[in-house]
Structure 1
Amino acid sequence: MKFISSCLLTVLALVCLFTSCQEKTNDSTVSAESPAFTYSLSIEAVNDNYLAPALQSFAHATHNDEWLLFAGRTNGSDTLGGLHNLNADYSLESFPPKSFNPFIYTFSPTTGNQSFLNYGDMLSTIRSMAAGGNGESEEIRKICEKVGDLLTTHSAIFMCTNPQVVQSGDYLYLVGGYGPPAGQTPTAKNYSTFDEIAKINVPLLMRIVNGEWNLTVQEWGDLFRFGNNPTLRATGGELKKIDDFFYLAAGHNFNNDEQVYLNSVYQFKFSEDVNSLVLSATVTDTISDITPAELLNNPKKADSTSVFRRRDLPIVPSLYLDTQNKLAPNFALFGGVFKYGETLAAWNDAIYITPDGADKYFIDAGHDQMNCNIYSCPDFSIYDSQSMELHTFLPGGIGNGKADNDLSGFTNTLGYSKFNLTTKVSSFDTLTNFFPSTYFYGAEAVFIPTSNANYLSITNVKTDVIDAESTFESSDPVHIGYIYGGIESYETSPSTYGSGKSGASNKVWKVLVSRTQVPEKK
């Protein structure tokens, strides 16, 4: 079934230029200055007739500028999405079963066209094909039986919230997630953090969602890989990929009435069996201030001492100079929650993961987010090779710089970090009211790039950092991507649980960036 709507854009542009380290309103300018260029940002909100799915904490991928969306939470006929109940059981009451999204979507941000397929209907159709319901060949029947069996066993992949995902080429990799057990009646005691791992062929799954079921035997065999790994049991972290390695960064293992943070970054590799369609993961390194033995044998002690005790935070693409002083890709943990022993206290520094550096990580204590944008929100980074500076932007989320009884509030503030790769000197600045709304956006939302954003390549391998020189060839604004989904909060306090207080968002915002040469002083 396909639902089609038109796309009409309402331009609500807020332009900001990035220099000082003081908080400013959108009536003034803030600037991220390199020796020769200044960057400016603007956003354009899509109007209410733009019918994107309302999703938060979901999995996403792209193909040909269209989006694949699944898992996460939604609103349904009730406003059951949004912020979870902070004072309930963190299962049936905080995460009601009917708030979990059962649909897989394809969506075009340029036209608003979308197709959707219920996970249960997908499984039923594959089971029917395995039974030869439409005269399928023996080969198709066999492969569909295998795929159907795996989907049944690993259905949590499509019915969880807040999994860790990363896309590499045509494949989406997924780790973990949280929710009730698939195929069982949800109770107050059976919610858990999953140890699921998955590899999904994005173009093939999008074809199925769009109603094209005529896959070849080879294509059915390449559609899914599933498995489990208890070390990678997590939710609220991020999944990254550098060269041939994957990294599960931060997060926690939450099981109803107790939790243990990962307190680390796990480096690992995937391997697969093309016959059984089983995916495996082998941890190759543990990056932490806690030894692997302590993490394994005394996780609660590690929880009380580790600076990696973070979850639900911006984990942003970055660059660094390796031991040979060559440019290399990495990522950084910005802010995050929660510090041990302090009532809902957030981290405000940054941890840069440097796999091929003299040390595996370094803490940037000079990075101070001032309790702003400390919760998971969209992010993107731009590298200016002339100044060797990274410009990282954090639109909205949670963390308005003001503490309250339940945590710093929802915010429409734009956080901006500038980091010099040579000196390792950093700064953090903010611009208030970046989202032009009395509601609050950004928490658990994502930045999805367009093909206009040219990503930096190092030794012919594409990084996750936007290359300034090739993306901004003139001073004209470039539409580099979209901000989509997440929590839409109607009040500033993060205690905004329930109908009429917050919900899963279907809002889409265009992100435009321009680079302007700074006139030389005479």
Structure 2
Amino acid sequence: MHKKLFTIVVGLIVGHTGIFFCAAQNQTPDFSPVQVNSPLPYQVALRETSFGSASLPTLHSYSAAVHDGKWVLIAGRTNGLHDFTNSGSLNFPAQFQNHDVWVIDPATHQSWSRSLEDGSSGLSANQIASLTPTNQQFTHIGDRLYITGGYGIPGSGAGFTTFDTLSAINLDGIVDWVVNGTGQAVDHIRQINDPLFKITGGAMYEIDGRTHLIFGQDFVGGYTPGKNGGYSNQIRSFDIMDDGTTLSIANPSMTPQIDAYRRRDLNVFPVLKPGNSGTLEEGITVLAGVFTPDNGVWTVPVEIDYTGQPTMADPTAPGTFKQAMNQYHSAKVGLYSAAEGTMHELLLGGISLMTYDFGTGMFVQDNNMPFTSQSTAVVVDSNGNYSQHLLEAFPDLFDGENNALNFGANAEFFLARGIATFDNGVIDLDQLHGTTVIGHVFGGIVSNAPHVRGVAGAMSAASNRVFEVVITVVPEPATWVLLWSCGLVTLFRRQR
């Protein structure tokens, strides 16, 4: 942000389409202040980088893993934001459902792809359909990528559905198949079906061998405006049993369905916090998401403990944190400082209820949820207190008509090789020094306007741009200490 920042407290908000004195359809009518120019222990910069002549897909809402330093991408869509007609087949055209598996090497700037419809895949039409929808849930455990659900066209080619499939993909084998054409893809994929997995737009993470499928919905039939799926309103947990040949699950459980957990298309973070006797406690935090029953935005985080049990603070309590920005699924990064006991959850662009106007120094609320390149950090201190802070946005890039481009929605972050992390993938902030490229943001939806629905000249598309995520650690100020020894005064500089 080359523009000057000012500290703001959110008050009366002017929307893009009018004035909103409150946001009654959202979970809460007001929001916690977004702090500007905060003294965070780091600065974040996003800068576009070129992969030269490498072919890169236009892709969003896909599933991904980092394996041996390479990015593995599967499923998702190759066009932009879905349409809003009364025809499901027009809103989610079949030709834009991604059938390719991509392998990208960020070190050598090489890429490879192979279609799951290739004759060498050995996959049936039903298997291909279940591996190519949009908005699946995925988690990377060891050398395997596990994927559940997603919304797309079934193997019969008739209608749309949310899949009830759990897929286990051996990454060594699938990368070899894509890059070298070795064997068949089917040799490296195992699948089972169960209504438990019939979710799209949620998230999936593992803690201590137990996998948690978080929120989302079961949407059946073509998407049309105003139509809703059946929200899960719960956490579904199970143990994945996978010996490389046979895939199954054990000990499935479901938490009670809670109306305030009616959420999808959200940002979910594996997190850490101080435990007893100096230990660290793993958990999961759900930030915001959509939609409330009145088509609003959820604002109060849901915390999930290491056993998979969710809790949410009272939205009406004076001290409850209410998220103001970046409520929709975007590229995201988690960092934890064990020295400070502080978790930092970076939300990079996407779709946001509020944005910052640098001309007026005011925050602007738009209940229609505009695209934005602005980013924030949600910080949770050692006492569990939340705060939100404005970060540097994606770089200023423009289309051929000089319209500013927005990035981040439905994109993914890929960790760089050699970055120290905790067991759950959270970056160890205390191990970062100076300026470090911690990874890259790839793909997602790019738009040339805050809103593209019914706006002349506005468009959205799937992006194939790559952005480095650069963290610069900000040294804490030094203190000068006086020591009295043997009648002499010694002055030395101590770094905190």
Distance 1:479 1:202 in 2: 25
User: 1:62-81 alignment to 2 at 5 Å?
Assistant: 62-74=66-78, 81=79
Q: Does 1:346 align with 2:297?
A: yes
Give the equivalent residue in structure 2 for 1:158.
131
1:381 maps onto 2:331 in alignment: no
For the residues of structure 2 that align with 1:19 and 1:154, how far apart are their CA atoms? 53
Q: Deviations over 1:234-281 (max 9, x none)?
A: 11011111110111111111112541111011111122476xx55323
Contact 1:19 1:32 in 2 (8 A): no
Matched with 1:265 is 235
Say whether 1:367 aligns with 2:321: yes
Q: Does 1:419 align with 2:380?
A: yes
How well do the aligned residues superpose, as a CA RMSD in angstroms?
3.0
Q: Does 1:110 align with 2:111?
A: no
Tell me, yes or no, if the aligned pair for 1:452 and 1:478 is still in contact at 8 Å: no
Matches within 5 A, 1:218-237: 223-237=188-202
Output the CA distance in 1 between the equivalents of 2:437 and 2:297: 33
Partner of 1:454: 420
Write out aligned runs for 1:40-439 (5 A). 40-47=43-50, 51-74=55-78, 81-89=79-87, 91-121=88-118, 124-127=119-122, 148=123, 151-182=124-155, 184-186=156-158, 190-213=159-182, 223-256=188-221, 257-272=227-242, 277-282=245-250, 284-288=252-256, 290=257, 306-321=259-274, 326-340=279-293, 342=294, 344-356=295-307, 360-363=310-313, 365=315, 366-370=320-324, 372-401=325-354, 402=364, 404=366, 407-421=368-382, 423-431=383-391, 433-437=393-397, 438-439=404-405
- Looking at structure 1, the residues matched to 177 and 114 of structure 2 have their Cα atoms a distance apart, in angstroms, of 8
Q: Could you tell me how far apart the structure 2 residues matched to 1:93 and 1:498 are? A: 19
C-alpha displacement of 1:400? 4.5
Task: Give 3-state SS (helix, strand or coil) of 2:200's partner.
Answer: coil
Contact 1:339 1:345 in 2 (8 A): yes
Partners of 1:66 and 1:120 in 2: CA distance: 22
Letter paired with 1:165? F
Show the counterpart of 2:37: 30
What SS does the aligned partner of 2:289 have? coil
On the 8 A contact 1:227/1:278 being kept in 2, the answer is: no
What secondary structure sits across from 1:452 in the alignment? coil
Q: SS of the counterpart of 1:53?
A: coil
**Residues 47 and 395 of structure 2 are in contact (CA less than 8 Å); yes or no, is this contact kept in structure 1?**
no
Structure 2 CA distance for partners of 1:520 and 1:237, relative to 1, 3 Å: same
Q: How many residues align?
A: 431
- SS of alignment partner, residue 249 of structure 2: strand
Measure, in 1, the Cα distance between the counterparts of 2:417 and 2:235. 30
Cα separation, 1, equivalents of 2:44 and 2:277: 35
Distance 1:323 1:386 in 2: 15
- Residue 485, structure 1, aligned to residue 443, structure 2: yes
CA distance, structure 1, for counterparts of residue 142 and residue 457 of structure 2: 39
CA apart distance, 1:493: 1.0
CA distance in 2, matches of 1:271, 1:252: 25
The one-letter code matched in structure 1 to 2:143 is: D
Displacement of 1:432 after TM fit? 6.3
TM-score using structure 2 length: 0.80
Give, in angstroms, the shift of residue 169 of structure 1. Answer: 1.5
Deviation of 1:59 after TM superposition, in Å, equals 1.4
Q: Using the aligned pairs only, state the percent identity.
A: 25
Residues 137 and 149 in structure 2, CA contact (< 8 A), matched pair in contact too: yes
Q: Deviations over 1:377-413 (max 9, x none)?
A: 01111111222111111010001415557x2100111
Q: Partner of 2:313: helix, strand, or coil?
A: strand
**Counterpart residue number, 1:3:** none
Structure 2: how far apart are the matches of 1:384 and 1:18?
26
Report the Cα distance in structure 1 between the residues aligned to 2:2 and 2:166, rounded to whole angstroms: 41
- For residue 210 of structure 1, what is the amino acid of its counterpart? V
Q: Which has the higher strand share?
A: 2
Any unmatched runs of 5+ in structure 2? 11-34, 222-226, 355-363, 398-403, 481-496
